[in-house]
Amino acid sequence: MNKLFSSLVLLVALLTGISASAEFNRHRSHKPVNKTTTADPAENNYDVHYLKFNLHVTDTSVYVAGDVATTAMVVSPTGMGSYVFELDTTLTIDSAKIDGTPVSVTGTGVVRTISLPVMLATGTSFTSHIYYHGMPPGGSGSFFNGITHMVTSGGTNVVFTVSDPYVAMNWWPAKQNVDDKIDSVDMLVTVPPGVVDGSNGVLLGVDSTTNPGSWTYHWHTNYKIDYYLISIAVARYAEYKSYCHFSGSTDSVLIQNFFLDTATFNPLYKSNFDSIGLFLDYFSSLYGRYPFWQEKYGVCYTTLPGGMEHQTMTTIGVPNTYIIAHEMCHQWFGDHVTYRTWGDVWLSEGFATFSEQLFLDHFWSPAAARTHRQQYLANVLSRPCGRLYVNDTTTSDSLFYEPTVYAKGQAVVTMLRYIAPSDSVFFAALRTYQQNFAFGLASTADLQSVFEAAYGVPLDTFFNEWVYGSGYPTYKVYWNQSGSNVYLRLVQTASCTSTPLFSTPLELQLQAGSVDTTFRIYNYSDTQNYTFTWSQPMTNAVLNPDILTICKTVGLPQHDPTLGIGSTLTPLKLQVVPNPTPNNWELLNAPGGMDIELCALDGQLLWSGKSHAGTTVIPAAGLAAGNYLLRLNDNGQLTDIKVTHW
CATH number at 385 reads 1.10.390.10
Cβ 358 vs Cβ 287: under 8 Å = no
Please state, in angstroms and rounded to a whole number, the distance separating the CA atoms of residues 301 and 318.
8
Please state, in angstroms and rounded to a whole number, the distance separating the CA atoms of residues 91 and 444.
37
Please state, in angstroms and rounded to a whole number, the distance separating the CA atoms of residues 397 and 407.
14
* 296 and 359 belong to one structural domain: no
Q: What are residue 379's phi and psi, to 5 degrees?
A: -70, -40
* 23 and 45 belong to one structural domain: no
Cβ 141 vs Cβ 99: under 8 Å = no
- CATH number for 599: 2.60.40.1930
Q: In this structure, is residue 33 part of a structural domain?
A: no
Q: What are residue 247's phi and psi, to 5 degrees?
A: -60, 135
* 432 and 305 belong to one structural domain: no
Strand, coil or helix: what is 49? strand
- CATH number for 142: 2.60.40.1730
Please state, in angstroms and rounded to a whole number, the distance separating the CA atoms of residues 546 and 117.
65
* 313 and 376 belong to one structural domain: no
CA torsion sign, 385 to 391 to 395 to 397? positive
Q: In this structure, is residue 9 part of a structural domain?
A: yes
Name the residue type at position 154.
G
Q: In this structure, is residue 36 part of a structural domain?
A: no
* 263 and 314 belong to one structural domain: yes
10 Å Cβ neighbour count for 140?
Answer: 11
* 546 and 617 belong to one structural domain: no
Q: In this structure, is residue 262 part of a structural domain?
A: yes
- At 154 the pLDDT is 83
Kind of pairing between the strands at 215-221 and 232-235: unpaired
> What crossing angle do the helices spanning 9-16 and 366-381 adopt, rounded to 10°?
150
From 279, 304, 329, the end of a domain falls on: 329
Q: How many angstroms from the chain centroid is the CA of residue 376?
A: 14
* 81 and 125 belong to one structural domain: yes
Q: In this structure, is residue 582 part of a structural domain?
A: yes
- At 265 the pLDDT is 74
Length of the chain equals 646
* Number of folded domains that form the chain: 4
Cβ 21 vs Cβ 44: under 8 Å = no
Cβ 79 vs Cβ 119: under 8 Å = yes
- At 178 the pLDDT is 95
Please state, in angstroms and rounded to a whole number, the distance separating the CA atoms of residues 584 and 151.
69
Please state, in angstroms and rounded to a whole number, the distance separating the CA atoms of residues 59 and 308.
19
CA torsion sign, 585 to 587 to 593 to 595? negative
* 163 and 59 belong to one structural domain: yes
Per-residue CA distances from 538 to 485, 510, 544, 555 (Å): 10, 7, 17, 19
From 443, 466, 489, the end of a domain falls on: 466
* 461 and 505 belong to one structural domain: no
Residue 488: domain span: 473-559
Q: In this structure, is residue 159 part of a structural domain?
A: yes
- At 577 the pLDDT is 82
Cβ 234 vs Cβ 195: under 8 Å = yes
Q: In this structure, is residue 420 part of a structural domain?
A: yes
Whole-model pTM: value is 0.86
Average pLDDT per block of 10 residues along the chain, 646 residues long = 46 30 28 55 97 98 97 98 97 98 94 96 98 84 86 90 95 96 98 97 96 95 98 96 96 95 74 93 98 97 94 93 96 98 97 98 97 97 96 90 96 96 96 98 98 95 96 97 93 95 94 94 90 93 97 96 71 72 86 87 82 87 82 74 80
Cβ 229 vs Cβ 310: under 8 Å = yes
- CATH number for 541: 2.60.40.1910
* 223 and 135 belong to one structural domain: yes
Cβ 586 vs Cβ 614: under 8 Å = no
Q: Which DSSP symbol is given to 137?
A: S
From 502, 526, 559, the end of a domain falls on: 559
Q: Which residues pair with 108 in a beta bridge?
A: 111
Cβ 296 vs Cβ 338: under 8 Å = no
Q: In this structure, is residue 195 part of a structural domain?
A: yes
- At 67 the pLDDT is 98
* 313 and 406 belong to one structural domain: no
CA dihedral 268, 271, 272, 276 (to 10 degrees): 170
Dihedral-angle region of residue 147 (phi above 0 means left; psi in -120 to 50 means alpha; beta otherwise): beta
Secondary structure of 572-638 as H, E, C letters: CCCEEECCCECCCEEEECCCCCCEEEEECCCCCEEEEEECCCCEEEECCCCCCCEEEEEEEEECCEE
Kind of pairing between the strands at 196-199 and 232-235: antiparallel
* 535 and 631 belong to one structural domain: no
